[in-house]
Amino acid sequence: MMTPGPTLRDIHPAPPPSWWPPAYGWWLLAVVVLILIAGAVLYMSRRVRRRRRWRMIHDELLALREQYPREGRAWLAAGLSAWLRRAARLHDPRAASLQGEAWDAHIGACAPRGLDTAPLRVLRTALYEREPSFDAEASLAAAERWLRHVVSRRVK
């Protein structure tokens, strides 16, 4: 009779490959996705801040329009001129140093086609008049149209 030999076990296949650590391609994909997410977050935060600044500028214009009947034209000329400077500075930081004809040219360059910038240009001289004689409603309307155009070009 034969003596029983060693008992053999069944053949076990190799374990399936582990999911960790991932292959190099997955690491590369993860890095690219993280960079894209960080870029999107940065872009959106800048966009939100920019929109918030433009919203504040628009609210200032609405406040000027609301207070103008009580305060008068001289007050409106000063307020609207300062407002226009702040809004232009948000659009182009170099606009803060412009004066005279250069300022008028900048306002005209930023204005939409067909907008008469004369109601905005007259503010430059109306500041120094005791009783300024300019069309306040036309200046306010031109300022609002100018702002809408600049915002539509700048904030997307």
pLDDT score of 70: 94
Axis-axis angle for helices 73-91, 100-110 (nearest 10): 70
In sequence order, the 6+-apart residues with CB closer than 8 A to the CB of 112 are 145, 146, 148, 149
- Asked if residue 154 has pLDDT above 90, the reply is no
pLDDT score of 1: 63
Per residue in 109-153, pLDDT (tens digit) is: 988 888 899 999 999 889 888 889 899 999 999 999 999 888 877
Burial of 110 (0-12, 13-18, 19+ CB in 10 A): buried
Average per-residue pLDDT for the chain: 90
Per residue in 79-96, pLDDT (tens digit) is: 999 999 998 988 888 888
Task: State how far the alpha carbon of 97 is from the alpha carbons of 46, 59, 87, in Å.
Answer: 25, 24, 13
| Alpha helical stretches, state H, 10-135 | 24-71, 73-91, 100-110, 118-121, 123-126
- Asked if residue 155 has pLDDT above 80, the reply is no
User: Rounded to two decimals, what is the model's pTM?
Assistant: 0.70
- Asked if residue 156 has pLDDT above 50, the reply is no
φ and ψ at residue 19, rounded to 5 degrees: -80, -15
Q: How do the domains of the chain map onto residue ranges?
A: 56-154
Longest dimension (CA), the chain: 131
Distance CA 134, CA 4 (A): 117
Axis-axis angle for helices 24-71, 136-154 (nearest 10): 180
Per residue in 50-65, pLDDT (tens digit) is: 889 889 999 999 999 9
